[in-house]
Structure 1
Amino acid sequence: MSYDQLVAAYLEAANGLVDGGSDLIIIETIFDSLNAKAAVFAVETLFEERGRRWPVIISGTITDASGRTLSGQVTEAFWNAIRHARPLAVGLNCALGAPEMRPYIAEMARIADTYVSCYPNAGLPNAFGEYDESPSGRRATSPISPRRVWSTWSVAAAGRRHRISPRSPRWSTARPRVVPEIPVATRLSGLEPLNIDDDSLFVNIGERTNITGSARFRNLIKANDYDTALSVALQQVEVGAQVIDINMDEGMIDGVAAMDRFTKLIAAEPDISRVPVMIDSSKWEVIEAGLKNVQGKPIVNSISLKEGEEKFVREARLCRKYGAAVVVMAFDEQGQADNLERRKEICGRAYRILTEEVGFPAEDIIFDPNCFALATGIEEHATYGIDFIEACSWIKANLPGVHISGGISNVSFSFRGNNPVREAIHAVFLFHAIKAGLDMGIVNAGALVPYDSIDPELRERIEDVVLNRREDAAERLLEIAERFNTKEKGEDPAAAEWRSLPVRERITHALVKGLDAHVDEDTEELRAEIEAAGDGRSRSSRAR
C-alpha cells in the first residue's frame, strides 16, 4: 500500500469519526512512524477541509526490551517524527507489560512539551484466558509511581471493569504532570534522534549520495546498481555524516522513481537509516517522493522565493504537513543573492513569511546563503567568501532561532582535480564560517582535514582568498596550488580504512555491514591462509 493510499484511507476514517460526533482523534498502536505520519497528514487535511481543528492524541508502541518501535525507532526519534502534529497528548500503549513500560513513559515525559498518556494492558491473559495477576498486583507494578510523570491514564482492550476499578489510596493524592518547557532545538530523527541547538557542534551532512556531488554515485544510479549505491550511503555514515543528503537531479534519470526507490531501500538498512536524511532537489515532485518514504523527521533542501511568494508558501505548508524542517535558499524572483545586502534582504523576507504567515517554527528553518566558487579570477567574485561569512553573522543576530547551512564543496570548485587544495579550502572556509554562525554543511564527511594540519603557507594564501585580504589573493593561491597536488585520486580513503584490516576482521566487518564488493577476494584470501596454516601443522606433525 502506498503512502497516498494510506492517507486516503485515514482521511475517510477521520471524516467518519467526526461525522459520528467524536470529540477527539486518537492515532494509536503505532509500530511505524511513517504510517503514523500518513495518519497525521490525513487528519491535517481533514482540519483544512472542515475549517477547524479537533484535539489529537498520538500513542506509540515499544515492542520489546530494545526500547524501539517495530520499525526500529527509539522513543525520542518517534516523538521528533510526529511532533509537528501538535498533539494534545503523546504517549505509549500496550505491548510490553506495565513494569517494562516504565522507562519509556519516563523518557516521553522528559522530552514532550505536551501532555503524556499511558495505557498498558490491565493484566495479560494466560493460555486459558485467565489472569494470573491480581488487581492489587497490577497497582503495584503500574508503569510509573504516582509522581508527576504522566498526564492521562487509560487501559488497553484486555481490561475488565473489576480489574480496573480498584484504586490504591496512593493515587488519590497524585497530581497530573505539569507540561515542561523544553529547550528550543531543531529536532530531527532517523531511527535515532538528532537535536541541534546553539550549543551543538557543527553538523556534517554527507554529500556522496548526491548525484551532483559524486560522479561515482551518479554512475551507480544511472547503471541501476542500487546495492552499491547503498554502500556509498553507509560509508558516509561510517565516516561521520550525521545527516545524509540525497539528490537525484540529473537529466538522464527519472528523479521521482530514483528518489522513491533509494529512500525505500535506505529505510530497510538500520545502519544507514539511524541518521536523518536531507531530501535534496530543485523539483518539488522529487522532494515529495522522498518525503513519502521517510519515517523520521527529515530536512527538505530546498524551497525559495525564486518563483514568488505563492509557491513558496504552498511548499512551506506542505513541508510542515509532512513533518520536515526546510532549507531556504537565498534566492528570489530576481535571482540568487550574490552579495551581503541581497542575502540580508532575501533571508529577512523569507523569515517573515515563514514565521508570521505560515506559522513555521523558526528552529525548523535552515538558511543557505549560497556558497559560490572562490578564486575564480573574476574581480566581482572576490567577496564571495567574506560575504557568506558576514551573512552568517547577520542571520544569527537578526533572525532568531534559525540555523545556517551551505554546500561547502562549491567554494573550491575552481580547483577541481586538486583534492588536497580543495580539502584545505573547505577547512579554512569552515573555520571562519562556523565562528560566524554556520551550524551545518553539505560536505564529504570522510575528507575533512583539521585546520591546524594545513601547511602554513597554503593556509595563509587560502585565508587571503576567503577573507578577501589582498587584491592578488587568487593569483597567489594559484601560484602554489599545483605544488600540493600530490595525493592519488580516488574514492575517500577514510571510507575504505577497513580494507587494511586483517582478512578475518574484513570479513566480519563486511558481514555486519552487509557489504559484498570484496567477498570473493576476501574469502579466497582466508581459504589460502587456512590451507597454509593446515600444511604447516601437517609438516610439524611429521617432523615430530
Structure 2
Amino acid sequence: MDGMAVVGELFGAGKMFLPQVIKSARVMKKAVAHLLPFMDAERQANIEKMGLSEEESPYQGTVVIATVKGDVHDIGKNIVAVVLGCNNFKVVDLGVMTPCETIIKAAIEEKADFIGLSGLITPSLDEMVHVAKEMNRVGLKIPLLIGGATTSKTHTAVKIAPRYPHPVVHCLDASKSVVVCSSLSDLTVRDAFLQDLDEDYEEVRQEHYESLKDRRFTALEKTREKKFKIDWNKFSPVKPSFLGRREFQDFDLNELVPYIDWKPFFDVWQLRGKYPNRSYPKIFNDADVGAEAKKVFDDAKVWLRKLIDEKILVANAVISFLPASSDGDDMHVYDPETGNKLETFYGLRQQSGREHDQSHFCLSDFIRPLNNGVPDDYLGLFACTAGLGAEEYCKTLEKNHDDYASIMVKALADRLAEAYAEYLHKEVRTTLWGYSTNERLTESDLLSIKYEGIRPACGYPSQPDHTEKVALWKLLEADKAGIVLTEHLAMLPAASVSGLYFANPESQYFAVGKIDEDQVTDYATRKKVPKAEVERWLSPIIGYELD
C-alpha cells in the first residue's frame, strides 16, 4: 500500500503514465486479495483477545462512484476508480446505469466523503442535475464530482452547481479527480481550493450568460430559405442492391483489424503525443509518451489476437435500405412493397454561426423531395456492435482484480465496433448500395473521410436528438441482432454504433450548433411531443435560458 501511495504521487506529478498505474494497481489488488483473509482473521482475533475497538479507517476518504441511470459507458469511470484507489481512497463502484436513489443510499450507508458521477451520452447531463437536486433534498453535504466525455466545466457550473449548495467539481480526467479529492480532504488547503473553485465557476457562469446575450440566431423560416440547395434535375439516385432489412451475424473480426482507428485507443490511456506526433503511428516517435504508447500498443495486439482467436467478442450488424423523400426539414421512409409511409426522421437546421452567404444545413437537404408524388431517393439505416460478450468477460477479469485487462478489452471492443461501422460503410458504398463502385481508398483515406456519402449518428452533431433512435430501432429491429437501447437511449452493448446512410455526393457532415426557441417549438409540433420534452433531450444545444 505504501508503494501504491508512491505510484499515486508520481502519476499526479506527471512522472508515471496511466497504463503503469493501472498495472501497478493490478499487482497490489492481487496481493491484497491473497493477504486480506489472513489480515482480517488476525485483526479480529486481536480485537476479541484484547477487547479493542474497531480501528479507524486507514483511507484518505471514501468515494461512491457510478455511471448514471440510462448510461452504459464505464471505461473512464473504471480508470478513475483505480487511480483513486492508488491514492489511498476507498472506492465504492456502483457500476453502470445506476439509479439516483441507489447512489444516494450507498453514499449514506458507506458514510461517503465524495460522490462521483460519470456519463457519456447527453441525456446523462440531465440525470446528473437530478442527482444533485436529490442530494440537496435529502440533506447530503459532501462534494459531488462530475466527469465523462459529454460533461463540461460550463454545464457543471451553470446547470449542476446551482442545484446543490456544496462543492460540485468538474473533473477532466483521472489525475484531476485525485487532485480534487486530495485538496478537499486536506483541511490546510480545502478553504483556498473552494474559494478558487467558487470564483472560477462564477466567472464561467457570467461568461455563459453574457454569451447568451451576444448570440444571434437566424429566424427558422429564414434558415429554410437559405438551406443547402441541390439541383435535383442533375441527380439520379442509385437504387441499392436490395431493399429492406439484412442482418449480419458473428462477423469475422479479423476483417476489421485494418480499419481500426488507433488514436482514440491511446486517448483512453491518456497518452497524447505533441505535434507532429499526435496521430498513430507517429505517436511512437513522441519523446514523452512514445515508449509507453508502444508498450500499450504491443499489449493491445496480444489481447486483440486473444479476443479474436478465442471468440470472446461477437460482432453483429443490421442494415436496411428504404425508399425515402424529404419534406421540409424531415425525411419520410416507405415500405418498398406497398409504398406506405413507415416512419419519419426529423431534422434540425443550423440557426447560428453562419455567415451571410453560407447555407444553413439540415440532413433533409441531402434527400430528394417526392418526384411527381413518388419517392425515388433512398435512405440507409444501420446498427452494429463488436461488444457482445465483452461485459461478461470483463466481469471475470475484474473479479480476478485485473482492471488493466478489463479496460483493455473494453477499449478494444470500442475500436472494433467503430472499425465495423467503417467496414460496413465501405461495403455499402461499393457493393450493398453501390453508389461508389469505383472507390479506391486506403484505410487511411477512410479515416480521413475522403469517400462519398455520410453516416451521421442520432445524438451527435448533425442530428443531436437521441430520441431519433426510437424510429431507427423500430425499422432495423436491432434488438434481434443483440443491440438494445436503455431508457435514456444509450446502446447496449456499449461498443455499438448506429446511424443513417446518405448517398448523395454533395452530402457532408456538419454540426447543428445552438438553436433558438422558434425551432424548438416547431420541432415539438412536428414530432407531436411536448415542447418541454424536446428541451430536455436537446438541452445541450438550446440557445436560450431554460427554467
TM-score band w.r.t. shorter chain:
under 0.3
Q: Name which structure has the greater RCO, CA cutoff 8 Å, separation 6+.
A: 2
Bigger radius of gyration among the two: 1
TM-score, normalising length: structure 1: 0.25
